[in-house]
Structure 1
Amino acid sequence: QIVSLGKYIRESFTFDDDAEVSVEIDPRGLTREHLEAFKEIGFNRISMGVQDFDPEVQEAINRIQSEDMTIQVVEWCRELGFKSINLDLIYGLPHQNVEKFRKTVRSVIDIKPDRIATFNYAHVPWMKKHQTIIKDEWLPSTDEKLKLLHLVIDEFTSAGYEFIGMDHFAFPEDEIVVAQNNGTLHRNFQGYSTKKGCDLIAMGITGISEVGDIYAQNVKTLDEYYEIIDNGELTTFKGYKLSHEDQLRKEIIMQLMCHFYLDKTSIGDAYNLSFDEHFSDALEAMEPMREDGLLEITEESITVLPVGRLLIRNITMAFDEYLTDKKEKKFSKTI
């Protein structure tokens, strides 16, 4: 099935010779034959979740995946010639603490993936009903989560990884680090990318496309999706067209997230506005962050200082027109 689907996609689209073709895999139940099939149809990057190797944490989140299983899959990927391997971790999970999570982090360092992502666990049982089985007292406090994030950054950077920001790490020679250093790194709603300006076409239920200044989401059920496809129609059920103001704020947020620096003068010239006047509310909201040593704000620019990179989400929230109460410090919401 993998080979058949892959060949159909290859026949339907033209691929560049240097195309980055990545697949997210789950080591549980995966065989070497699955990976051989992905390689046959042109996949060259692999990403897989680890979350945490600690047995107590794995049991609490109902994801049993041994370290040996992960190592075996990584070895298969390297033997088959996948050029990049990414491992995902999650901090803030039930029963995590600094001492136990350090063991997982160092095990991942020993595996030596090309890239590492460390995501913040969002506990939203009112939205995700399966999370109701996780008791609040099992979760690390906000202070403990910040310590976990510090641990991740300290351990991975000491092992030779570069901290890209937004919880991502890669080796210095990785193209994503090179792109950040030369100012060409881009970010879309799926994460960091070296391919700025590309449209995103989503296929399948719930998929979100980004084409130009338009976002469009597909329907959410298979029955509805197949019915629309059979009728020869587009599967989009809702969309949004970015306004001029949306595009302006998106550019600012992306520059800060990717480069931790914003040239206020160039933004003002590009959009024909006085930056400080147009964003007076955002600058006011960021003033406590500047006082706390997270930012440096001058007449010409905004620079995120090293400690501020930990809170880049909070910093960029100041420019999100759709958020309310931006003057309040809500670090715990994103940590």
Structure 2
Amino acid sequence: MSLFRPDLLTKYDAAGPRYTSYPTAVQFTDTFDPAHYHRAAADPGAASADLSLYFHIPFCDTVCFYCGCNKIATKNRAHARPYLDRLKRELVLQAACFDTTRPVSQLHWGGGTPTFLSHDEMAELMAATAESFRLLPDAQAEYSIEVDPREASAETIGVLRDLGFNRLSFGVQDFDLRVQQAINRVQPLETTRTVMSAARAEGFKSVSVDLIYGLPHQNVESFSRTLDTIITLAPDRLSVFGYAHMPAVFKMQRQMDEAALPTPAVRLAILERVIEKLTEAGYVYIGMDHFALPHDELAVAQRAGTLHRNFQGYSTRADCDLIGLGVSAIGKVGDVYAQNAKDMAGYAAAIDRGELAIARGVQLNTDDRLRRDIITEIMCQSSLRFDAFEAAYGIRFKTAFASELERLRSLEADGLVKVNHDGIDVLPAGRLLVRNVAMIFDRYLAGNLAGNLAGTAKPRFSQTI
């Protein structure tokens, strides 16, 4: 039985952020002064904090129609060489900004398809990283990479383990052939099973699988079959993303039949089935789109109250400064978010000048930091206690956020949240729409939504249902 009345589907199907940051990337400006980044990186007060490195490898052999990532579809592997050379120069430039005695306890390669690089090129990039930064040993760090099973043999999985990677994320999306054909990503089950078996044999600490709901031709029954298959493969983590249909922004999405997309009601029914089946199979519902087995570090971090969100989604390390490397990569250093040029020409020109490729960003103020912590608590813990924020920020929560608490009354009446005298708890129905709950505390959102509703701006956020 659905948790929602039909009228609530319409009421809450709004455009909203996923809150991988606050302020969101919409607030980044090209007037951002990179000097703020340099000052944050050089802050001696942060010297004891660990570092996290994110590398964006934008190349893909073929394009998946649903994809909203910054990518370059090409079959010419020679494109990797000049990009790799610039990444190595960027590593040196970034390392010069930081106290490199600070250890790197987290590293992630995303894309695109990072395994577009050859085995030798991947080894070259990892060696260059170790020359510029202090990488912690395997037992103390999280080194992860996104892998397309169609592009990775068992040999590739072995190479990745030898290079130091100890966590893998495999893209699957859906096992239904009709859906795969509609999204231009045909991937037989045996292909996925082979690389997952290889990862187990090589001793990877955690194997994650990505699924997407809301794609053409999906329904509750068909996606249930995909879930049944995934459960037999027993990944340690699952990311089950809601497809963001934004064809005005991502032109390749126009290749799909819009009429075949499931309705908001069906999308929500699929999500409810996902939560039901995965929790019955022993997975912990981390929040929004993530699930993990109880032993996995994500589940452990949530129990310990140390779960965090960053640009890759839920994370176990909240205290790291994140350094973004590569075209379009975003970093978070101190109270600064900084993004590299999103176009290859701009990125290449900056690196060739011997400069960081930072093109836009934002420096957080006190209100941003407070609201970021509130939204993070809602997204990661499904609750918050007023006294913790009052002690940390010297405020009276009910006074400072009187208007937000008033707006929460409507969500409380609809069974999404419970506002108590000492805090806010997100209820099971609200966890399905946790973005809507978090949006209440977003100071920037009203103006963005007004522009979208008036038709004066491109859509900037996906629908929450």
Kindly state the Cα deviation for residue 270 of structure 1 after the two structures are TM-superposed. Answer: 2.0
Q: CA deviation at 1:327?
A: 11
Separation in 2 of the partners of 1:203 and 1:188?
15
For 1:188, the aligned partner's letter is: N
Q: Deviations over 1:231-268 (max 9, x none)?
A: 21111011110111110000000011111111112212
Q: 2-side partners of 1:29 and 1:49: how far apart?
A: 11
Which of 92, 100, 125 is the matching residue for 1:5? 125
Q: Distance in 2 between matches of 1:252 and 1:228?
A: 36
SS at match of 1:200: strand
2:156 corresponds to which of 21, 24, 34: 34
After TM superposition, the structure 1 = structure 2 runs for residues 244-323 of structure 1, keeping only pairs within 5 Å, are: 244-323=366-445
Q: 1:41: how far off?
A: 1.3
Whole-Å Cα distance in 1 between the matches of residues 342 and 423 of structure 2? 43
1:52 and 2:174 matched: yes
Q: CA deviation at 1:61?
A: 0.7
Q: Residue 327 and residue 41 in structure 1: after superposition, are their counterparts in 2 closer, same or farther (change >3 A)?
A: closer
Task: Choose which of 188, 193, 197 in structure 1 pairs with 2:315.
Answer: 193
Matched, 1:21 2:143: yes
AA partner of residue 157 (structure 1): T
Q: 1:325, CA displacement in angstroms?
A: 7.9
- The whole-number CA distance in structure 2 between the counterparts of 1:303 and 1:327 is 26
| Deviation (angstroms), 1:294 | 1.6
Tell me the secondary structure at the aligned position of residue 21 of structure 1. strand
Cα distance in structure 2, aligned partners of 1:214 and 1:102? 42
Distance 1:301 1:175 in 2: 27
| Corresponding pairs, count | 333
**CA distance in 2: counterparts of 1:310 and 1:218, whole angstroms:** 33
Task: Provide the residue aligned with 1:102 in structure 2.
Answer: 224
Does residue 242 of structure 2 align to residue 120 of structure 1? yes
| Root-mean-square deviation (Å) | 1.8
Q: CA deviation at 1:196?
A: 1.4
* TM-fit CA distance, 1:310: 1.0
Offset, 1:272 = 1.9
CA distance in 2, matches of 1:137, 1:164: 32
The superposition leaves residues 250-293 of structure 1 with CA deviations (integer Å, 9 ceiling, x where unpaired) of 00000111111111122123222221222122112211111122
* Residues 163, 170 of structure 1: 8 Å contact kept: yes
Whether the 8 Å CA contact 1:27–1:48 is kept in 2: the answer is: yes
Q: Which residue of 1 aligns with 2:464?
A: 334
- Equivalence for 2:192: 70
Which ranges in structure 2 are unaligned for 5 or more consecutive residues?
Answer: 1-120, 454-461
Whether 1:218 and 2:348 are equivalent positions in the alignment is no
Output the amino acid matched with 1:291. Answer: A
TM-score (norm 2): 0.69
Report what 1:138 is aligned to. Answer: 260
One-letter identity of the residue aligned with 2:175: F
CA contact (8 A) 1:206 1:218 kept: yes
**What letter is aligned with 2:463?**
K
Give the TM-score taking structure 1 as reference length: 0.95
1: CA distance, partners of 2:156 / 2:368: 42
**Partner SS state of residue 359, structure 2:** strand
Comparing 92-101 with 29-38, which one deviates more in the overlay? 29-38
1:182 CA displacement: 1.8
Amino acid at match of 1:47: S
Offset of 1:38 from its aligned partner? Answer: 1.3
Pick closer, same or farther for the CA change 1:325–1:234 going to 2, 3 Å: closer
The farther-off stretch of 268-277 and 302-311 is: 268-277
RCO higher in structure (CA 8 A, sep ≥6): 2
Q: What is the aligned counterpart of 1:240 among 362, 370, 385?
A: 362
Given that 1:2 and 1:37 are in contact with CA atoms closer than 8 Å, whether structure 2 keeps it comes out as no
The alpha-carbon distance between structure 1 residues 326 and 252, as it changes in their structure 2 partners (threshold 3 A), is farther
Change (3 A) 1:7 1:326: closer
The residue type equivalent to 1:316 in the other structure is: A
Contact 1:45/1:83 (<8 A) preserved: yes
Q: How big is the shift at 1:73?
A: 0.7
Contact 2:337 2:363 survives alignment (8 Å) = yes
Give distance in 1, aligned partners of 2:370 and 2:385.
13
Which of 163, 186, 209 in structure 1 is aligned with 2:331?
209
Cα offset, 1:297, TM superposition? 0.6
Identity of aligned residues (%): 46
Determine if contact 1:201/1:209 at 8 Å carries over to the other structure. yes
Of 190-199 and 64-73, more deviation after overlay is shown by 190-199
What's the counterpart of residue 78 of structure 2?
A: none
